[in-house]
């Protein structure tokens, strides 16, 4: 996997290190997926606080504006890591930002001694991952269960 993917001029990769930076991811996820900002921000803050040694959260910034975000999680000493939550705001799609995030997260995983990286990908992400050298192993069907009100 090519580990250094050039970014468009004016953008840069930033690895979050402080819980107060979690809103950068929440902003991307709201625009990309319609996620609840408060819930996403709280979840990422917890990750940066409780699992900082076995995770990496990255954003692509244009100045101070977040355009793309994703995280990497692994078990210390394990051979597997997961790429999660990769998304790009609609106005910045097609610029290679997601590809750069995938490559950087894979580079970090390799530096941690991780041998295998897995991704649950949408149909939008699959072609990008294929071009980067990932191979489809299987598919999943997500379900949402909502308990009935009683």
Digit-coded pLDDT (tens) for 54-90: 999 999 999 999 999 999 999 988 999 999 999 999 9
Q: Please indicate, yes or no, if residue 99 is contained in any of the structural domains.
A: yes
Q: Please indicate, yes or no, if residue 32 is contained in any of the structural domains.
A: yes
Q: Please indicate, yes or no, if residue 5 is contained in any of the structural domains.
A: no
Residue 15: what pLDDT? Answer: 97
Q: Please indicate, yes or no, if residue 38 is contained in any of the structural domains.
A: yes
Whether the pLDDT of residue 3 is over 70: the answer is no
Report how far apart, in Å, the C-alpha atoms of 42 and of each of 45, 55, 84 are: 5, 16, 16
Q: Please indicate, yes or no, if residue 145 is contained in any of the structural domains.
A: no
Q: Please indicate, yes or no, if residue 86 is contained in any of the structural domains.
A: yes
CATH number reported for the structural domain that contains residue 112 in this entry? 3.40.630.30
65's enclosing H/E stretch is strand 65-74
In the chain, the percentage of residues whose pLDDT exceeds 70 is: 98
| Number of independent structural domains in the chain | 1
Residue 61: what pLDDT? Answer: 98
Q: Please indicate, yes or no, if residue 67 is contained in any of the structural domains.
A: yes
DSSP 54: G
Global confidence as pTM: 0.88
Boundaries of domain holding 62: 11-132
Which residues lie closer than 8 Å to 98 by C-beta, 6 or more apart? 68, 70, 86, 87, 88, 125, 128
The pLDDT tens digits of the residues spanning 22-59 come to 999 999 999 999 988 899 999 899 999 999 889 999 99
Residue 2: what pLDDT? Answer: 62
Residue 107: what pLDDT? Answer: 92
Q: Please indicate, yes or no, if residue 121 is contained in any of the structural domains.
A: yes
The residue behind tokens 């998304």 is 87
The pLDDT tens digits of the residues spanning 99-128 come to 999 999 999 999 999 999 999 888 889 999
Quote the tokens at residue 67.
């355009």
Whether the pLDDT of residue 147 is over 80: the answer is yes
């Amino acid at each position: 996997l090519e580990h250094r993917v050039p970014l468009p001029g004016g953008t840069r990769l930033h690895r979050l290190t402080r819980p107060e930076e979690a809103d950068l991811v929440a902003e991307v996820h709201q625009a990309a997926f319609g996620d609840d900002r408060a819930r996403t921000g709280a979840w990422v803050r917890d990750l940066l606080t409780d699992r900082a040694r076995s995770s990496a959260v990255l954003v692509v910034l244009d100045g101070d504006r977040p355009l793309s975000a994703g995280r990497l999680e692994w078990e210390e000493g394990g051979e597997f890591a997961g790429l999660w939550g990769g998304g790009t705001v609609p106005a910045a799609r097609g610029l290679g930002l997601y590809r750069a995030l995938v490559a950087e997260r894979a580079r970090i995983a390799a530096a941690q001694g991780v041998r295998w990286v897995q991704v649950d990908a949408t149909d939008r992400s699959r072609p990008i991952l294929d071009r980067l050298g990932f191979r489809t192993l299987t598919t999943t069907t997500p379900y949402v269960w909502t308990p009935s009100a009683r």
